Amino acid sequence: MIHGGCPWLPAPLHSSYGTSPSQLAAAQAFLGAHGAQTKLVTIDIGSNDLLALVDGCHAQLACVAGGITATLTTIETNDAVILGTVRALAPSARIVMFNLYNPLALTVPGSDTLLAGVNQALAAFAASEHVQLADAFGAINGVAGSPQETARLCLLTWECTSYANIHPTTLGYWSLTFALVKALRP
Strand pairing class (157-158; 165-168): antiparallel
Backbone angles phi, psi at 40, to 5 degrees: -145, 135
In the prediction, which pLDDT does 21 show? 76
- CA dist., res. 27 & res. 184, Å (int): 21
CATH 3.40.50.1110 is held by the domain 39-184 = yes
Domain boundaries, the chain: 39-184
pTM (global) more than 0.85: yes
Contacts of residue 39, Cβ cutoff 8 Å, sequence gap at least 6: 92, 93, 94
Per-residue tens of pLDDT for the chain, all 186 residues: 676 666 655 555 556 667 777 788 889 999 999 999 999 999 998 888 898 899 999 988 899 999 999 999 999 999 999 999 999 999 999 999 999 999 989 988 889 999 999 999 999 999 999 999 999 999 999 999 998 999 999 999 999 999 888 999 999 999 999 999 999 997
User: Is residue 174 within 8 Å of 157, Cβ to Cβ?
Assistant: no
